[in-house]
Copies of this chain bind each other. A is one copy, B any other.
Amino acid sequence: MQKSLLHTAFGVLALSLATAASAQVKPEDQIKFRQAGYSFMSWNMGKIKANLEGEYNAKQVEAAANAIAAIAGSGMGALYGPGTEKDIGNLKTRVKPEFFQQMQNVGKLATDFNAAAANLAKVAASGDKAAVQKAFGATGETCKACHDKYRME
């Protein structure tokens, strides 16, 4: 577990550090894209929740979990570059300033989130509703951990 978390952490760092390809994304677009990612993930979390509380459609849950895991693992760290700490024009950011001073802690929370989302996708593929319930809850906790610390109300 430790080894794979470390690998994931390096993976997250590696993707974030691969700025060559991402460096041309303007700050306002970085804010826009990260908000798009969180928004789309929230739709998919909502779908899984509805499936857990109502009629369980395993394929729908699997697709939703895959979307969440893939978005989580797509190197969103690159969307928190210089200039994205403040609102830009109509684009409002809810990220607290201290986020940018605590990148090590942010990296840890991101790693936790990534691992939970990856596990959710893996478990969703099995069709095991009870296991999905647990993994879904665990994933939500990782979302909350970052939101509680770094997202303004």
The yes or no answer to A6 lying at the interface (CB within 8 A) is no
A89 close to chain B: CB less than 8 A: no
Please name the residue on chain B nearest to A42 by beta carbon. B33
Q: Which one of B18, B20, B25, B70 contacts A46 once the chains associate, using CB atoms below 8 Å?
A: B25
Cβ-based interface call for A15 (8 A): yes
* Residue A133 CB within 8 A of the other chain: no
User: When A21-B50, A50-B21 are in contact, do A60 and B73 touch as well, CB less than 8 Å?
Assistant: no
Copies of this protein in the complex: 2
Number of interface residues of A (CB under 8 A): 39
A60 to B73, CA, bound (A): 10
Report B-chain residues with C-beta under 8 Å of the C-beta of A69. Answer: 70
Q: Give 5 new A-B contacts, CB below 8 A, not counting A15-B60, A36-B40, A63-B73.
A: A20-B55, A21-B50, A22-B47, A63-B70, A71-B71
Mind listing 22 A-B residue pairs with CB under 8 Å? Answer: A14-B59, A15-B63, A18-B59, A21-B47, A21-B55, A21-B57, A21-B60, A25-B43, A25-B46, A36-B36, A36-B37, A36-B43, A40-B40, A40-B71, A43-B79, A44-B74, A63-B70, A63-B74, A63-B75, A64-B74, A67-B73, A67-B74
Q: Give residues in A with beta carbon < 8 Å to B.
A: 11, 14-15, 18, 20-22, 24-25, 29, 32-33, 35-37, 39-40, 43-44, 46-47, 50-51, 54-55, 57, 59-60, 63-64, 66-67, 69-71, 73-75, 79
